[in-house]
Amino acid sequence: MRISTQQIFGRSLTSMQEANSQLQKTQMQISTGKKILTPADNPYATTRISQVNHSLAMNSQFERNIDLAQNRLEQQDSLLDGISNILLRVRQLTTQAGNGTLNHEDKQFIADELRQRLDQLAGMMNSKDAGGEYVFSGFRGDQIPFVKEQGSYVYLGDEGQRYVQVDMQVNVAVSENGKALFMDIANASYGKVQTTSTSASITAQSLVDEAALKALYPHDLELSFDGTGFQATANGVPVPVAYDDTTGVVTVAGMEFTVEGMEAGDEFVVETRPKQGILNTLERLIDGLENERGQANYFNMIDATLDNLTNAETTILSARSRIGARLNTVESTKEMLGDVSLLNKEVLSEMQDLDYAEAISQLSMQSFVLTAAQQTYAQVSRLSLFDYL
């Protein structure tokens, strides 16, 4: 077989280019620390690396979500703890106000501190998170939740509850709306008949038709005795009332109660609000301390306030229990994601990280091959037919 000079040069050049290409690839692997530089190097491994990187990116996002959820839940728990402490002090002051030996000045001192506690509570309920959004406004994070309108606090947020995804199948609630927490508190005075009369007594009170009483909400039912019978109104609108002067039984708006010792001009009030906010409870307590309306009415107000405080504390305790359960979920999910990420990084390292000892040894061998190819080419390129003539 004849071999032309062009073939000799072509083969030598190809050998040097291949050796140089392999050497450059190994150098690139050493500089990047990766043994797979292009999908062509290992298509299957490239696909697996892409999948593992995607999983790691998702876990990283979930971990950031967990940090956000944990911060929000811990802040809410801290705020509710502070609110519980304030309510404990309010309970102490209310119990103190129930002392029958207190004079008007003593009650005013208690009312002054309660007013400070009221402002403190409103401030905590209107707290913001690290992002500048109101914690207890539901979805309306830019809306201050509790605002005083016409001398009484109202809730302006919504009833939404925010969720954060902390895993593929796990969503955790990271908020409690202020209406459910601080407004929808069972009212101990609901359906109770109260009077400022010093002579009338109310007994055998019962609620026989709750729907009829709720139909009057949000206006209280007001009754007056003219000496022979009762007149009842709600927001100025007459309400049918029946009175049996033999038994003293009054039937009105689903309520039945027995009255004795009445005098003309006596007035009665039936609470139609099944729910009463914490702030409104304090407002009514302060008003009752500053504006006395008879001893019987005063002590009824103290008893109702203590019951409402108990209901509020129970609601907040229940919320803190839910928050604690969510924190446990968040923490366990965070640990699980950490374990999964560590395993994925180990798998990723096995697939794409370079064995430097092997690569450097290979680089030395390839360098030797390239040098040999270059030296061979140099020797062959000097050969000529005239050397044999």
User: What is the domain partition of the chain in residue ranges?
Assistant: 55-187+307-339, 193-272
Structure tokens at 176: 């409690």
Q: Is the pLDDT of residue 167 over 80?
A: yes
Instruction: Give mean pLDDT, residues 120-144.
Output: 92
Q: What are phi and psi of 171, to 5 degrees?
A: -120, 130
Q: Is the pLDDT of residue 1 over 50?
A: no
Please give the pLDDT value at position 208.
Answer: 87
Please give the pLDDT value at position 101.
Answer: 87
Please give the pLDDT value at position 20.
Answer: 66
* CB 173 within 8 Å of CB 326: yes
- Residue count (the chain): 389
Residue 145: pLDDT band with limits 50, 70, 90: very high
pLDDT tens across 174-220, in order?
999 999 999 999 888 888 888 877 788 888 888 888 888 888 887 88
Identity of residue 274: P
**256/254 Cα distance (integer angstroms):** 7
Structure tokens at 195: 């009077």
pLDDT tens across 327-356, in order?
999 999 999 888 888 888 777 767 666 656
Q: Say which residue, 29 or 266, is predicted with more confidence.
A: 266
Instruction: State what percent of residues in the chain have pLDDT above 70.
Output: 79
Please give the pLDDT value at position 42.
Answer: 62
Lowest mean pLDDT among 85-94, 115-124, 226-235: 226-235
CATH 2.60.40.1840 fits 55-187+307-339, yes or no: no
Please give the pLDDT value at position 387.
Answer: 53
Identity of residue 302: I
Secondary structure (DSSP) of 295-311 = HHHHHHHHHHHHHHHHH
